[in-house]
Structures are given as C-alpha cells and as structure tokens.
Amino acid sequence: MIAAFLLPFPLRGYRAPYLWVYYRLLSSFGERMQFIASEDYTRDPEHWRAQNRWEMQPGNAQRLQYQVPARESMAGHEYRFLSETVFGTLLAESGGNPMAAFRRLLSERVPCLDAAFAEIFSQTTVQDIEAILTWCNCPSLSAAAEEKGIPVVHLEIGPLRWPQYRATAYLDFSGVNGNTEAERRYLDSGFRPGAGFDIEALRRFFYLAADGEMPEARFKLGVALQVEDDSNLLAFGHGFDNQSLLVYAHLRRPDGGVLMRGHPGSLFALKPDWYEVDDSPDSVAFIRRCENILTINSSVGLEAMLMQTPVEVLGDCAHRFIAQAGDEQARVARLAFYLFAYLVPMHLIYDSSYLRFRLGQPSEYEIAIRHLAAYGVDVGPLRQASTGSVSRLLELAGLSDAPI
C-alpha cells in the first residue's frame, strides 16, 4: 500500500490546503491508499462548494485532471488523522505566527510533530506501507519514516506547466524545492557535457504555445517575485523574501532599467517606483522583455534558461545547479538531464505503476526512456541501444546534433 501525507494544518489560512491533490489521487490512483492528513479532507465536497473553494470549479478540475469525488470513493481508503491539538501546539510554540510555524514544519524536526507521527506509525501496519508521498518537505515525517524503513517520495507540480509547456512534475527522494537530489543525480549519471545539445531544440520539445512577435529586450533586469507564503520562499530562500529581493535589485541597478513582475497569486499589488511594473500576459513575454532575470527560486528562472536568458538564482531550488554551471556546455548538458531524467511527465506522479518503478531504483537511462515514452516518443529503437548513457539516449531521440 502507498500512503500520502497531505499538509493537515491551515498554515496559509485555509483548511485542506492540498484538497485538489487528494481529489486527483482518488481520481487517478486506482487502488486503496492510506492518507495521513486532517479530517478536513474527508468533508463532503458540498461543504467546500458552499465556501466557493477554487477546487470545486469545473475549469480547475479539468485543468488539473481530477473529479470531485463521491463520499463512497473516500470511504474506500484508510486514514490517519493529525489532530487540532497538534496544530495548536505547533502554532503556540511558533509565537502564534502561522508563517513561522509553516517554516518550522518545512525545515526542522518539531517535537509535537515527531510525537504525532510516532503515534501514527505505531498504529498502522508498517510493513504494508511501500512509500509515503508528500507534497512538501517535513523533516519530522521523514525521520519517522526512516526509522521504519519507509521511503518518502517528494512530489510537486513542476516548473513547466500546461498549456504553454508539456506538464511536468517533481519526484525526489530527498526533498522538493529545497534539499533536492537533482545535482547529485546529474553528477552520478556520467552525463557528458559537449554532446551537441541545443537549447532551442530542448525548448521546442517542451514549449507548446506559438511564438508571437518577439519584443525588444528594453530592460536590463527582470525581477520575478513569488507568492509571499510560498514554501520555497519561506524555507528555501536563503533568507531572501520579496522585499529583500526588491532592495537587492535596487542596489544592483539604482538607475533603473528594471522590470518587476508580481506573482499572479499575490495578495499585494506592486506600485511603480524606481522600477517599472510588468504587465505582460505571461512569464514568457516578461522574459523576452529583459536582458537578465533575477529570482529567489521561481520557476521563471528555468523558463529563462530555456530562452537562453542569463539568470541569477538566490535561493535553493532544483534548477539552481544549472544556473551555476561553469560554462555553456556544462549548462546545456545539465539542462538536458534535468528536463528528461529529473523532471517527470505530470500524469506519472499519480500512476502507481510508475511510482513503484521509481521505488525499484532504475537507472537514469531507464527513467529517461520511461519519460520519453510518456511524452509520446517512439522508444522502441532506443531500448535496443547498447549504452546506458542518458546523453546517448537523447542523441538517438534527435535532441542532440552530435553524430550518432
């Protein structure tokens, strides 16, 4: 049995914060699961519809590929609940500050959570749990699972998203957003720089939208802000937040030439100051207006890399190691590995057979073949290649201009 930990506390002000993930798993997984969550998730969907939750809107359900479940489908699974008492203790120990409580949950072991997970694992038949899926880092969960020998699989929506891109996701056995295994896997893979990879070919594979008229890059620096309560910012920003990023950019370019893009999900509106406020229809148009991009750890940074725009990444994130490459060849090689072996086609993280495939510790070559097949590439001839090199695989798939 595969279990899933769904953030149980309203640390960002609303309950069942991963409600859509719960519904997606119920819609897609196709087998009995165990959920470690709060009782909020199992409320009748009519409760959430009455609150006008965005998860109840048909357009969002279609975009994220889930169906709002019937109560009967919820009842077919096992549950272990974290109580309101645990939330109250976590909040009180964090000075009543929900963002501080969220940061602690994401980045450190917390005694009240340690105790809660210990109790949950003492009640369950541990040997029946193959893995625990989680959509956020939680050191207390990871420690409890490690003690029982249960792998924790960190999942999240990836940086390239439909409809502009092929939909991608993160799957990482170390962490998500921060503390990831992306760079280590690349270094261990033997992926060779200089194998003829072309960034434009990589971009064309993933980019689905039509390229419109190319605007002039009028701004020296584009700054991509993030949602203020984003876990990336709270726990993995290396001390930066949106305000300190503004100051950092101002010190870099006190004379202006800066385009500032607020996050569409932000509760706060930017006011024109020493910078201009971006009104581009999407992040691609924003990047095209700028000669350089500055971000803490936004996915806009990865999009800029695909558009061959120089990027400075201040925080921790899975693609930071690409931006830190010493030369162009290394950067392109890292990007190719990241796109095809590290990022996962979105639908696969809700596929039990794929998750068990990854739990079997396949080679990077096998992982990349599985991903290419999911993207619709004919991998029959690729399976017959005598080498286990991911770079060779991408050459055979036509994503490198190196001689075959």
The number of folded domains in the chain is 2
124 pLDDT tier (thresholds 50, 70, 90): low
Q: State whether 222 and 332 are in the same domain.
A: yes
Tell me if 114 is assigned to some domain.
Answer: yes
Least confident residue range of 267-281, 282-296, 382-396:
382-396
Please name every residue paired with 207 in a beta bridge, in sequence order, or none if there are none. Answer: 165
What DSSP designation does 77 have?
S
**Cα-based angle 339, 340, 343 (whole degrees, multiple of 5):** 60
One-letter-per-residue 3-state SS of 227-245 = CCCCHHHHHHCCCCCHHHH
Residue 28: domain span: 2-150
Q: State whether 248 and 134 are in the same domain.
A: no
- Domain with residue 278: its CATH number is 3.40.50
- What count of other Cβ atoms lies within 10 Å of the Cβ of residue 61? 18
Is the pLDDT assigned to residue 190 strictly greater than 90?
Answer: no
Alpha carbons 393 and 324: distance in angstroms, whole number: 25
Tell me if 400 is assigned to some domain.
Answer: no
How close are the terminal C-alpha atoms of the chain, in Å?
Answer: 43
404 pLDDT tier (thresholds 50, 70, 90): very low
- Dihedral sign computed on CA atoms, order 153, 155, 159, 165: positive
Tell me if 97 is assigned to some domain.
Answer: yes
pLDDT of residue 379: 83
Comparing CA positions, the residue from 157, 176, 271, 182 lying closest to residue 225 is: 271
Written as six digits, the tokens of 254 are 């006190």
pLDDT of residue 381: 75
List, for residues 322-366, the tens digit of each pLDDT value.
Answer: 999 988 888 988 999 999 999 999 999 999 999 999 999 999 989
Tell me if 390 is assigned to some domain.
Answer: no
Element (H or E) spanning 172, and its range?
Answer: strand 168-172
pLDDT of residue 337: 93
Tell me if 176 is assigned to some domain.
Answer: no
Alpha carbons 183 and 319: distance in angstroms, whole number: 8
Q: State whether 93 and 228 are in the same domain.
A: no
**Across the beta sheet with 344-345, what order do the strands follow?**
78-81, 33-37, 2-5, 131-134, 152-157, 168-172, 344-345
List, for residues 300-313, the tens digit of each pLDDT value.
Answer: 999 999 999 999 99
Q: State whether 9 and 90 are in the same domain.
A: yes
Query: What are the C-alpha distances in Å from 329 to residues 50, 196, 274, 393?
Result: 54, 9, 36, 18
Q: State whether 139 and 33 are in the same domain.
A: yes
pLDDT of residue 403: 44
Mean pLDDT over residues 225-250, rounded? 95
Q: State whether 322 and 239 are in the same domain.
A: yes
Q: State whether 144 and 7 are in the same domain.
A: yes
Count of residues in the chain? 404
Tell me if 200 is assigned to some domain.
Answer: yes
DSSP notation for 226-291: --TT-HHHHHHSTT--HHHHHHHHHHH-TT--EEEE--TT-SS----SSSEEP--SSHHHHHHTBS
Is the pLDDT assigned to residue 197 strictly greater than 80?
Answer: no
